[in-house]
Structure 1
């Protein structure tokens, strides 16, 4: 589609970006989630330094991403096992 220029505000700082048109909505939503998480952390903890809040935010999102990847891999592995068992059953069935 093409690139567009946008400005994203994260932790009271503006970042000019060039993004693909179809990515704009996702990037804006990600920035919104980051700002909401920073606000939540700021309200719940006595941390005021934006760098500390950003670091805590990144740590939470990275941890969640790693957990999601592991869950996905475990499901994929289970699916592979099931497909292999089904293949063996069908092979035995058609041998008869």
Structure 2
């Protein structure tokens, strides 16, 4: 059993202490860095009242990317399934005509 790792992540000028599995560290640090960078971008480009608004905007941005990715994947799977069914029909028709 792996030892837990204690780390501190800084997001929007606040420090969050976490106890994690060591294999999670890289992903969490990258995620915190991405959130922090996006928060700074929102603060610079928009009239934002407070950090909570900035973090809400960040959450919306990341969640919408995840949701859109799922929608795109679903559409791609549907298109691939339709192409495979058409190919299957062509093969079946070709083998049936010989």
What is the CA RMSD across the aligned residues, in angstroms?
1.6
Superposed CA offset, 1:29-84 (max 9, x none)? 11101000000000011214111110111111112221111111101110111111
TM-score, L = length of structure 1:
0.87
- Following superposition of structure 1 onto structure 2, how do residues 64-79 of structure 1 map, counting pairs within 5 Å? 64-79=65-80
Query: Which segments of structure 1 move beyond 4 Å, counting only runs of 4 or more?
Result: none
Structure 1 residue aligned with 2:93? 92
How many residue pairs align between the two structures? Answer: 96
Structure 2 unaligned spans of 5+ = none
